[in-house]
Structure 1
Amino acid sequence: MMAHVIEIQHLQKQFGKFTALKDINLQLNEGEVLGFIGPNGAGKSTTIRTILGLIKPTAGQVQVFGQDAWQNAVTIHQQLAYVPGDVYLWPNLTGGQTIDLLLRMAKRTHNQRTDQLIQAFGLDVRKKNRTYSKGNRQKVALIAALAADVPLYIFDEPTSGLDPLNEMVFQQQVAQLKAQGRSILLSSHILSEVEKMGDQIAIIRQGEIIEAGSLAEMQHLTRNQVTVTTAKPMLELTQQAHVHQVHFKNQTKTSAEFLVADTAMNTVLSYLTQQQIQTLRTTPPTLEALFLRYYDTNQIKAGV
């Protein structure tokens, strides 16, 4: 059984009368990537701040490496690297000076790995921070964090401001860390990012974890999309159990798109076979489909 690098039990956090976190239960195992998703304001950053020991829980337990996150924050911080979503840097320092300073503050040194990361992200370290775009400020923090040789990395909206090429570089770096047995907590509202990298996924809404597990475990909660053409009309397609949102693409009803629950796929395929399948394409459920189960479009737009 894998060890819990982070273990949160019944975490609650109140700010005055406002309850930011209601009853959070979360685990990150050794050597895994945990994708922590939800729109801004759902409670992701508040949860991370309790993990980092920056704020004290109102109730519940937060343990990192088996130690209380609030009481042992200094010791725990020696074993992790953290990148926030909004990076603020000393305006008169260059990017290179800032990276070295961040490393020294964490009792680490600039080494070959640091230089490789600077090259990979294409950062001009000679420029002063005040001239940097948001994306370049993010690169400075990412390089300093990824250069650290630690067992735990915490990224809170890490690719905010990065272009697609640098997003890919970040994903490659996370894959390397995972291959080395490191643990990564990745907080994001970018579903494709989490889907590519996450071993485990936790969805948070209004301060509560509403779904958690591997993507494979959670995909049964969503529906496969099916596109099919048949020789015979699919006159009884809408009457099949667990078939939803049927859209016929021609008047003869020999071409259709629809959604079907994973558990009903065999039954539906049996019916389609009777209608003499000519072409068939199935698309497995995605993280986006699962996410949309809990957040309507207006909520997502407001959160992002």
Structure 2
Amino acid sequence: MSKKIEHKSTSIRSLCPCSSMGSLCPKCQVTKDDKNWLLKCHCGQGGSIVLCDGRVQNAKRHWEGDTAKPVPKAQIQEVTCFGNTDKTWLRGQAKTELTECIDNSPSTCHGGRPQHEICLQLFNTTCKSSLSETNKQLLQATVVKEATWEIWRHNGCQSIHSIKCSKCIPARFNQKHPVCDHRLAVHKYGSLLAAVNMKYTDDDSIKFVRKDLMVADPFQEKQRLYKQVNLLAKSLERATKQGDLNFRKALLREMHRHFPRQGMCALEGEAWVLPKERQGRFLTQGTSTNASQGKAQALPKARQRRF
């Protein structure tokens, strides 16, 4: 190719919207056919464009259209891993849903040794209810350390994740249900398969659970029976993986002492206050200071903490 033809070809390609200073569009091709020039655009539509005597009007008209405009790069942003849900883990003939395990599981960390084995190794006993508060916290910390998968049910998350989950991952702005590379690894865990296919107790059958199994965590029974308590439990899990057993017990004591007949009034107040606190509205002397007068509710003294 002569320098004259090469210069003409370069000048035509430089007009392409995909070209920039010092960089020509790599996909546009310009060839000379007798007196005319032929342009094959990067868009691949419409065949060759004839440029009579090298005039570029036809090329400009084509490049000004929508078909030749460069496609913008997908915007990448950091998002929370979606994890395993009924939308991302299609289980075929399964008779249960993942939400049953997520909502009804008594703990969030799973996959390690059974708690009674860890309790026997650490304290030479399998009776968890007889442990001191310090030993219970040590037992829970060991359970969390040995876990291989966990349940997220806070901050709008209702999903199952590997302990190695990346938490935040890069994803396109329009990508549905982004997940990390560790999501599929948990599908082969026997403990997870047993948990998601298990039938959990409900309001009618929970009364048949042995009392010695419930005495270690009396909050669990209330959490299963009342949605207000379940909201509090999820808020506690958001603050700490170990939970706050002392706060749970104090809340139960105050509920029975101050509201023996009204039952869940205190917890209904808690359920209303929690969203307000997340918006930066705190409590002063048991009453919401920024709430409207019509919704202000008194709370027991046990509610003296910040999430």
Q: TM-score, normalised by structure 2?
A: 0.24
Q: Determine which structure has the larger strand proportion and give its number.
A: 1
Length-normalised TM-score, structure 1: 0.24
Q: Which structure: larger Rg?
A: 2
